[in-house]
Amino acid sequence: MTATPATPTTPPSLDPVGGTRVELRGVVKEFPGLRALDGVDLVLDPGELVVLLGPSGCGKTTALRCLAGLEEVTAGSIHIADEDVSGVPTNRRDLGMVFQQYSLFPHLTVMENVEFGLRMRKVPAEDRRRRSQESLDLVGLGEHGKRYAHQLSGGQQQRVALARALVTRPRVLLLDEPLSALDAKVRAGLRDEIRRIQTELGITTLFVTHDQEEALAVADRVAVMNEGRIEQIGTPEELYSTPVSPFVAGFVGLTNRLPGTLSRGMVSVLGATVSVLNHNVPDGEVTAFVRPEDVILGPEGESASVLTSSFLGSLRRTHVQLDLPDHPIVVVQHEVSDVRRPGEKVRLTLRDHAVVVEKR
């Protein structure tokens, strides 16, 4: 095995642990004067990676800690493999956990850190070594067993934390912002590797993050949380193209907020009329949430002027200012071949794609 973690060759694999169904049923968690979880229902299918996505303070960590048994729920229940684990302590729930802050024991070597969970379970030394080595190989650090935490980069420390979490072959893996302390490039690499390992092991995984790009990249399904509730759960594609609310539309992916007029389930924006995804807004003046690729630079529509236009490799992103009161700025994504210059007069309209609206 090479020790180059960024480009793993054919990695060794632990036997697949197989997936376990996990369910949070109506989970409420109250702290003094605060309801952190307000009735969370969430099912993770066996082997599935679900991301809990939401802004800071919305209750992600609390949900994960309830699942782990680190917090007692105020109401509702938690089920692992169809067993209600409400009275089961953390160390009996058969979970692996990785947190944002590096959490290796500084006085133990990498190998000793990984062995720790097996030592607690009184696994014999030889078996312990073999399984820990396998687990380190899995994360691409097979040759780093003798090092100490301070001799590793942040990304390597998180790999060790992952190896340590997986060495006991837990039924469920819990990751709380495991990449947030890393710089962007390391983050993307390790994110893909977590996904590869998770898929290979088939381990049911709850991955918490506030980073929507990370969520879309890694998840089978994403649960978007807002103020202690799950606002929408779906595949990354579903969340992006059919958000159920302004919150989800605004939190997941780039979005324009454009003035429109709502009438009987249809909204008029930039001279086009498209259908509406959420039906809880009264007719009248609204804000419509429109993706940059759903705006068309065309011969028709609302007149506007180009501010800036950037080449982004596979597409071009152009900022355009509408000749409307308030001069709203619209972000448009379009073909690379369609070159636009600052100051150029254009017209904007919408592709026929349903949008979310909010009362203005």
Instruction: List C-alpha distances in Å: 61 to 14, 208, 223, 286.
Output: 28, 7, 13, 34
- Tell me which residue has tokens 């290979």: 200
Q: How far is the CB of 249 from ligand ADP (least distance, A)?
A: 20
* Three-state secondary-structure class, residue 115: helix
Binding partner of residue 31 among ligand ADP, Mg ion, none, CB cut-off 5 to 8 Å per kind = ligand ADP
Per the document, the length of the chain is: 360
Of the pair 61, 256, the CB lying nearest Mg ion is at: 61
Of the pair 54, 236, the CB lying nearest Mg ion is at: 54
SS (H, E, C) 67-79: HHCCCCCCEEEEE
- Tell me which residue has tokens 């299918």: 45
| Site track for Mg ion across 8-47, x = CB under 5 A | ----------------------------------------
Segment lying near ligand ADP (by CB under 6 A), choices 57-65, 148-156, 166-174, 350-358: 57-65
Interatomic CA distance for residues 243 and 245, integer angstroms? 6
Token readout for 233 is 């759960």
Using CB under 6 A as the binding rule, whether residue 56 contacts ligand ADP is answered as yes
Instruction: List C-alpha distances in Å: 194 to 85, 97, 138, 191, 233.
Output: 26, 13, 10, 5, 21
Using CB under 6 A as the binding rule, whether residue 226 contacts ligand ADP is answered as no
Using CB under 6 A as the binding rule, whether residue 224 contacts ligand ADP is answered as no
Q: How far is the CB of 61 from Mg ion (least distance, A)?
A: 3
Of the pair 64, 276, the CB lying nearest ligand ADP is at: 64
* Three-state secondary-structure class, residue 125: helix
Segment lying near ligand ADP (by CB under 6 A), choices 53-61, 164-172, 281-289, 297-305: 53-61
Of the pair 14, 28, the CB lying nearest ligand ADP is at: 28
Using CB under 6 A as the binding rule, whether residue 27 contacts ligand ADP is answered as no
Binding partner of residue 57 among ligand ADP, Mg ion, none, CB cut-off 5 to 8 Å per kind = ligand ADP
Q: Which of residues 58-87 bind Mg ion (CB under 5 A)?
A: 61
Token readout for 242 is 């059919």
The residue within the footprint of ligand ADP, chosen from 16, 26, 31, 75 (CB under 6 A), is 31
Q: Which of residues 88-147 bind Mg ion (CB under 5 A)?
A: none
Query: Which runs of E-coded beta strand occur in 134-291?
Result: 172-176, 204-209, 221-226, 229-234, 256-263, 266-269, 272-275, 284-290
* Three-state secondary-structure class, residue 302: strand
For ligand ADP, the binding residues (CB under 6 A) are: 31, 34, 36, 54, 56-62
Binding site for Mg ion (CB under 5 A): 61
